[in-house]
Structure 1
Amino acid sequence: MHAQIVLFDGFDPLDVIAPFEVLYAGGTAASGAVGVELVSAEGPREVVAGTGGLTLRATAALDPARPGLVLVPGASGRVGEPGEVPGDDAGDGPWRQDEFIPVLLRRTLETELPALLTAAMENPEVTVSAVCGGSLVLAMAGLLEGRHATTHHLGLDLLDATGAHAVSARVVDDGDLVTGAGVTSGLDLALYLLEREVGPRVAHAVEELFAHERRGTVWRAQGPTPARF
């Protein structure tokens, strides 16, 4: 399995680094059965995160024709107080690290990323995954209508508003779409993908290496609908 983790201006570092480390370790444990690289819509470039000016380098352009996994992170920036919204000029001008997270996510729609993600989701040999606000990038691009997905709890209403079926769960498996909730869920998402695509023994070995036990039940649209409590 080859994994392409997408970088965009203002990305959340933990959404990227946690899955990268897990998948890289999985490749080591599985004798090279997993490869992972950082990519961007624009190709090789230095990409600045939304936290502290941290910069990571994308080494290639996102290739939606390549079989394997594409993972979209969320953004890091201002959350704001309840009910607070960006000003009318929040989307104008150069990118700033103090911008609202929805503005940073929305800016991805002005790049080639939506077209590349559309092609990836249409490729039967690709599983698209997302952590935190990465699900909202997919949703705002019109790619999650009718699909089950999760995101950070503050974004679940927005996810629903795009036509997706928002699920309040740590990890949601909707077949060729697998999503994770808040930022630290990137660890659990990547470990689950290792288990699903490579095997539980490899996933367990990486859990032990990182001293991290996966949290929560992976939600799937299977089994009876639970009654209300």
Structure 2
Amino acid sequence: MLAQFVLFDGFDPLDVIAPFEVFSAAGLFSGQVACELVSAEGPREVPSALAAISLTATARLDPDRADLVVVPGAAGRTQPPDEDDPNADRPETVPDILGRALGTDLPGLLGKALAAPGTTVATVCGGSLVLSMAGLIEGRRATTHHQGLDVLGMGGVEVIRARVVDDGDLVTGGGVTSGLDLGLHLVEREVGPRIAHAVETLFEHERRGVAWRDHGPAPKTV
């Protein structure tokens, strides 16, 4: 199983590192998982939204090779600074960062990944907004950071208020730390519960909440 983790300028580091470590550990325990950091442009140093942190993409995002593609969100301001704000030179807004990513080859490559049989696309935090803003997941079920749920719904997405939402070949996580839970859910689903349990034990992390899936009876209104 090849898991590719997408980098773009201004990505949130924890959105990438948390699930990357989960799948790396799953590879050590199973021998069945390989991980790559990738970008739409190919091998390059990719700056995160935190000035002191960058990661190196070692390959180009390749939907024909990847079994799993993980898309992070961005880190930055949620609102533009006031004109009189003395700290107006602080980081860009999240919409600015995501909008710039949409101006690259990333949307086309993610569209191919979503269309590829047997390939799962997963997102952490604002990664689902990248897909929604690109018009790739209209009518699908997904979640994102709580500050972006309204924006996600405006893109024609059926918003599910859950920490992890499993919609088949689209699996989305909520806020930043949900990357651990999303990673463990996918390891359990794709590699097996024994491997997922071993990773969970190694990390001393107990998953929060139930991963939402469209299975079973609908709950009654109470």
Residue of structure 1 in register with 2:74 after alignment: 75
Give the partner amino acid of 2:69: V
Identify if the C-alpha distance between structure 1 residues 86 and 72 changes in structure 2 by more than 3 Å, giving closer, same or farther.
farther
Is the CA contact 2:5–2:20 (under 8 Å) kept in the aligned structure 1?
yes
Give the partner amino acid of 1:137: V
Residue of structure 2 in register with 1:160 after alignment: 153
Residue of structure 2 in register with 1:144 after alignment: 137
Give me the CA root mean square deviation.
1.6
Is the CA contact 2:163–2:209 (under 8 Å) kept in the aligned structure 1?
yes
Q: How does 1:88-99 map to 2 (within 5 A)?
A: 98-99=91-92
Is the CA contact 1:26–1:194 (under 8 Å) kept in the aligned structure 2?
yes
Aligned residue pair count: 217
Is the CA contact 1:51–1:97 (under 8 Å) kept in the aligned structure 2?
no
Distance of 2:194 and 2:103 partners within structure 1: 41
Give the partner amino acid of 2:50: T
Q: Secondary structure, in 3 states, of the residue corresponding to 1:157?
A: helix
Residue of structure 2 in register with 1:123 after alignment: 116
Residue of structure 1 in register with 2:85 after alignment: none
Give the partner amino acid of 2:14: L
Residue of structure 2 in register with 1:34 after alignment: 33
Q: 4+ residue stretches of structure 1 with deviation over 4 A? A: none
Distance of 1:164 and 1:151 partners within structure 2: 11
Farther off after superposition, 16-25 or 45-54: 45-54
Distance of 2:90 and 2:132 partners within structure 1: 23
Give the partner amino acid of 2:123: A
Q: Which runs of 5+ in 2 are unaligned?
A: 83-88
Deviation at 1:86, TM superposition (A): 6.9
Identical residues among aligned pairs (%): 63
Is the CA contact 1:10–1:97 (under 8 Å) kept in the aligned structure 2?
no
Identify if the C-alpha distance between structure 1 residues 97 and 111 changes in structure 2 by more than 3 Å, giving closer, same or farther.
farther
Render the CA deviation track for 1:41-90: whole Å, top value 9, x for unaligned. 0000000000233110000000011141000000011123xxxx578xxx
Give the partner amino acid of 1:41: A
Structure 1-normalised TM-score?
0.91
Residue of structure 2 in register with 1:108 after alignment: 101
Residue of structure 2 in register with 1:20 after alignment: 20
Deviation at 1:106, TM superposition (A): 1.3
Q: Secondary structure, in 3 states, of the residue corresponding to 1:70?
A: strand
Q: Which runs of 5+ in 1 are unaligned?
A: 88-95
Deviation at 1:103, TM superposition (A): 1.1
Structure 2-normalised TM-score?
0.94
**Which of 217, 224, 228 in structure 1 is aligned with 2:217?**
224
Is the CA contact 2:4–2:66 (under 8 Å) kept in the aligned structure 1?
no
Distance of 1:79 and 1:176 partners within structure 2: 29
Is the CA contact 1:67–1:125 (under 8 Å) kept in the aligned structure 2?
no
Distance of 1:207 and 1:20 partners within structure 2: 14
Distance of 1:125 and 1:180 partners within structure 2: 20
